[in-house]
Structure 1
């Protein structure tokens, strides 16, 4: 009886170790993907400094002149994490332009929508500007949607109310990444997992919100074919 219990304990410990190992491997893989990801950009408006941390008091790695090509890794507050050559650091967001050259839409409708959703998320952290349509300088909710889709060759109406008639209607339960989530006086792009990306307000700028139905949804529109 004791030997049987010991054998069971050994088996359980082995399974736990195996599961832990898989989880660690998965986490490492995820980290690698995140570290390797990014999209093209450049320094514009004014030269700036590549710093070791998100602070003007942090050490300067190098000075970046206007036109310097960079890889944008993430945006947080007033800073972007970027890679220049083999050096990675932080630069003030206002001096780092994010490329609006969109990738080609290929594959299924779902894959195309996912590409649109991923592209739209590049601009999270950029400003909200009433009447704006510039993904870097600032856009309002409908200007953001229009400019994202314009990058893929789609010409959508300008206002959020008119965008409620763009594309084709789908049910909320059948929504997929890239679909437009339409509200009264507002519009967003669905990115999956119940989340949306949108030019929310002057205070928050372009951001990701965790609940697509945070307010009454009037319509869901699918633009990609």
Structure 2
């Protein structure tokens, strides 16, 4: 009897493993901008520090105009690599390269490229009426500036952006799509998140919920 029960248990375990392994893998999530991207120092003799503190050890000094590779922005700092040395520089001294990569692949892949590019500017300032991705932009100026880098010309105001591109449902939104609210606009980056020029206090940031307020329109800008 014990032998029969043991064999039955083994069969059930094997069957369970087969069923589990046959389940479809979850759809790959769209992550934040991957890898490094170009930047340039605009102030003379910026200090590259070991950590995010003005009291941290200085690794070396970087002169004005020197190119750096930017890893990410965190608070007041950008993590960068310069001539093989990696450390932190105050973000206000590093301009991000606005030369966008070429769009290729499917419409969804193009949108992912746009969304990843937009995230390079997280931490930069919000400026009402601004359109500059480095020195400051408002919500419509930000998404317009991002798409301008890819050769698209968008309407200037958040209300006019509700008619840009083509309409898609919120359910079918993809990275790169514009999420329009009353008096505001953001860009969807995947995984339920948006990147947007939010307020003077927060600047350009990523928010965890695209539907944090009532969505009035979703517009797809990238073309097939």
TM-score for both structures, normalised by structure 2: 0.85
Aligned length: 200
1:85 Cα deviation (Å)?
Answer: 1.7
1:86 Cα deviation (Å)?
Answer: 1.2
Query: SS where residue 203 of structure 1 aligns?
Result: coil
Match of 1:183 among 158, 181, 184: 181
User: Given that residues 46 and 95 in structure 1 are in contact (C-alpha distance below 8 angstroms), is that contact kept between their aligned partners in structure 2?
Assistant: no
Match of 1:127 among 99, 106, 125: 125
Where does residue 224 of structure 1 map in the other structure?
222
Distance 1:115 1:90 in 2: 26
Query: SS where residue 142 of structure 2 aligns?
Result: helix
Residues 137-156 of structure 1: pairs in structure 2 closer than 5 A: 137-156=135-154
Change (3 A) 1:131 1:109: same
Please say if 1:52 is aligned against 2:50.
Answer: yes
Match of 1:162 among 143, 160, 184: 160
1:28-52 Cα deviation digits (max 9, x unpaired): xx9xx96xx1101110133310000
User: Given that residues 47 and 95 in structure 1 are in contact (C-alpha distance below 8 angstroms), is that contact kept between their aligned partners in structure 2?
Assistant: no
Q: More displaced, 42-51 or 66-75?
A: 42-51
Distance 2:69 2:215 in 1: 36
Distance 1:95 1:47 in 2: 10
Distance 2:51 2:222 in 1: 40
Where does residue 97 of structure 2 map in the other structure?
99
- Extract structure 1 runs of 4+ deviating beyond 2 A: none
Higher helix share: 1
TM-score for both structures, normalised by structure 1: 0.84
Please say if 1:89 is aligned against 2:74.
Answer: no
**Greater RCO, CA 8 A, separation 6+:** 2
Please say if 1:40 is aligned against 2:38.
Answer: yes
Where does residue 74 of structure 2 map in the other structure?
76
Where does residue 28 of structure 2 map in the other structure?
none
Unaligned runs of 5+ in 2: 18-30
User: Given that residues 43 and 63 in structure 2 are in contact (C-alpha distance below 8 angstroms), is that contact kept between their aligned partners in structure 1?
Assistant: no
